[in-house]
Chains A and B, each alone.
Chain A
Amino acid sequence: MLSRDYRDIVGGALLIVVGLSFAGYAATHYPLGTIARMGPGMFPTCLGVILAIFGVLQAVPAFFRTGKMPEIRIWSPIFVLGGVAAFAALIFPFGLIPAIIALVVISSCAELKIYPVSLVISIVFLCVMSWLIFRVGLNVPIAMLRWPF
């Protein structure tokens, strides 16, 4: 237990920051126009301010109540998002199969335990399946394997 609901305080503060910077960016970069004839900047500026107000409404009551510490995971997001990043980086230069292998290997680490045999089997299975579905079945123009150098 925390003496104050810090989760909502931090979250509210974050909303205020995001809202105000969004509004500021819109107001300085795009014409606001008038109420009758609104420019591209008017609607986003209002949205940013509204978000900041909701941020205040979330943060202020949180000062007057106790809160629970949220469970924050570190390894799961790193490995899962790392797998997605590897896929995004490899898909164009190297093709689908290297991208799938990297994605599956990296994201599997999120279990914090490696099952080598089942990992190899599932990689082979997934590569064959995606080839069948996307290349053979749907005829999607996607390179399976490529060597850019």
Chain B
Amino acid sequence: MDMLSNIALGLDTALTWQNLLYCFIGVFLGTLVGVIPGIGHLAAMSMLFPLTFYLDPTTALIMLAGIWYGSSYGGNTASILLNIPGSPANAVTCLDGYPMARQGRGGVALFMTTIASFIGGSIGIILLMMFAPVIASYALQFGSAEYFALMVLGLVAASTISDGSAVKGLAMVTLGIMFGCVGSDIYTGMPRFDFGQLELTDAINLVALAMGIFGVAEIIASVRRIKKGDIDPESVKLRAMKPTREDVKRSWGAMGRGSAIGSFFGTLPGTGPSVAAFMAYAVEKKSSKNPEEFGKGRIEGIMAPESANNAADQTSFIPTLSLGIPGSPTMALMLGALMIHGISPGPSLVAEQPSLFWGLIMSFWIGNLMLLVLNIPLIGVWVRMLMIPYHLLYPAVLMFICIGVYTVSNSAFDVWLVLFFGALGYVMRIFDWPGAPLLLGFVLGPLMEEHFRRAMLMSRGNFGTFIDRPISATVLAITAILLLWTMYSALSGRRKKRLSALVE
């Protein structure tokens, strides 16, 4: 009964015309961003971030979330038709999606992956509804030591599990926390690292940081590299989208397994949809009777990863909404949006803001449904979007970034910050330093410092407080194991090989 009244409350919020409209705008823009390679959803979300200041917090989150899961729907289009992933989470879809398009089955692939996305997303939402409130009710008893431990786990996992060097990831987390130190000290109010700039006493603007590192740096790296593709318009006509009975039969299992894998990886900090899609593909190939057909246009090879990344999109909200600890940079932006609206994220959110929490979840259903209905007839439109040359696109994106940042607080200083972080983001690409851990560190840094200092204050400077408390001790032990495992696998050099063996 309780669940039913929550659902009713959520629907009440989600079905207001304003929320429906912004949900639609969110998923529409998300799909658009997903379709066009070279604009990530992070750049899109940070671009639209300033617009959300004018909205009610629930509406703002509904729109931002729509961009996030909408981009997973759109991201497969470029993967399948052009062999270029629209977003990193869709990279594996290229492996079997592009061969399918070459065989004239691009329409079938697009149609079926939309279905897979919907099923994966739906399963993710059900899990979110079941688990987030339960976890939140437990988490209400957490103290500062537990919070600090959880954040350390989140940051370590985020920087070690994803691809690339773990040391570089950890270094970027640290750098991010350092940027988070700029501003007034929480306990004494003393300004830190302001270098005499009045604007910096108020902390670095999250939007400027995200847009610089993910938007501007991405543009610098993509200019003169993205080429228009040639697409056979016949293969994406509605007539060409009808799957065969064989396609449907083989897809069910793949969608089920993909959704399960995706849901699991979505909740883990640091993994998210890219890793989920990758693992789903690997499992599908391993468990198949004819693994040699993968990579040649086998339908399971697109259904599993596409359902996995959408399931992961939804379940990644579980730690964010129930604990206030984001597992991915996108979730960090969501959290940033909440904080800017003056809502403190954390376990009390579910109890104190039920209409926000349940309204957001119900809007996920509505958004996913919209995407399902929208995407099938609109595939032709998306395909035409792929034909826009990049040299027209990127100055427009840059313009939206600049205006967006400027309007946050009407300050040109923030635009200079974008320039600084854009340059930094480009330098980070040269040194192969990942940007996602930096953003996570930046958002979590101030919270971490607050909880660390409070825990030390309460224990009168005794570090044992982190180990004496069972939950905090368990979480820190998991963190230590993760670090040791990462070190071991880096030393033995097996990690990369094993990962590449999975795709082979």
Contact = CB atoms under 8 A, between A and B. Distances in A.
A63 interface: no
Contacts of A55: 171
Interface string B50-90: 01001000000000000000000000000000000000000
A132 B392 CA distance: 20
B335 interface: no
B416 interface: yes
A38 B453 contact: yes
Contacts of A10: 431
A19 B173 CA distance: 13
Contacts of B399: 87, 100, 103-104, 126, 130
A83 B396 CA distance: 12
Nearest to B172: A54
A110 interface: yes
A90 B422 CA distance: 19
B216 interface: yes
B167 A57 contact: yes
A143 to B, nearest CB: 10
Interface stretch (B6-14, B127-135, B283-291, B401-409): B401-409
Most buried by A among B54, B177, B220: B220
Contacts of A116: none
Interface string B446-474: 00010011001101110000000000000
B192 A40 contact: yes
A86 to B, nearest CB: 10
Contacts of A54: 167, 170-171, 174
Nearest to B448: A43
B341 interface: no
A37 B185 CA distance: 13
Nearest to B418: A84
A57 B394 CA distance: 37
A50 interface: yes
A20 interface: no
A72 interface: yes
Contacts of A22: 178
Contacts of B220: 73, 76-77, 80-81, 110
Given A40-B185, A43-B453, A77-B426, A141 B410 contact: yes
Given A25-B193, A77-B220, A80-B219, A107 B394 contact: yes
Interface string A61-87: 000000000101100110011011101
A142 interface: yes
B423 A77 contact: yes
Contact of B395 (A30, A39, A91, A104): A104
A58 B398 contact: no
Given A26-B192, A36-B457, A73-B220, A84 B419 contact: yes
A30 B418 CA distance: 27
Interface in A18-58: 18-19, 22, 25-26, 30, 34-40, 43-44, 47-48, 50-51, 54-55, 57-58
Given A35-B461, A47-B174, A111-B223, A70 B430 contact: yes
Contacts of A39: 188
B385 interface: no
Contact of B430 (A7, A83, A91, A111): A7
B92 to A, nearest CB: 25
A81 B171 contact: no
Nearest to A129: B396
Interface string A124-149: 00100010001000101110000000
Interface string B377-397: 000000000000001101110
B21 interface: no
Interface residues of A, number: 65
Interface string B208-237: 000000001001110110000000000000
A68 B103 CA distance: 37
B216 A80 contact: yes
Nearest to B419: A84
Most buried by A among B187, B402, B432, B452: B402
Contacts of B453: 38, 43
B415 interface: yes
A82 to B, nearest CB: 9
A73 B412 CA distance: 27
Given A47-B174, A47-B177, A55-B171, A11 B412 contact: no
A76 B223 contact: yes
A47 B441 CA distance: 11
A80 B398 contact: yes
A63 B268 CA distance: 34
A80 B425 CA distance: 13
B311 interface: no
Contacts of B358: none
Interface string B181-212: 10001011010110000000000000000000
27 contacts: A7-B431, A15-B171, A25-B193, A37-B457, A40-B192, A43-B449, A44-B178, A44-B181, A51-B174, A51-B178, A54-B170, A58-B167, A73-B221, A76-B224, A88-B418, A96-B403, A103-B395, A108-B391, A110-B220, A110-B223, A111-B224, A118-B391, A118-B392, A122-B396, A130-B399, A134-B407, A142-B410
Given A36-B459, A81-B423, 20 more contacts: A26-B181, A26-B192, A35-B461, A40-B185, A40-B188, A40-B192, A43-B181, A43-B449, A47-B181, A57-B167, A77-B220, A81-B419, A85-B419, A87-B415, A88-B402, A88-B412, A110-B394, A118-B392, A122-B392, A134-B407
Q: Which 8 A-B pairs have the closest CB atoms?
A: A36-B461, A40-B185, A88-B415, A11-B431, A54-B171, A35-B461, A104-B395, A87-B402
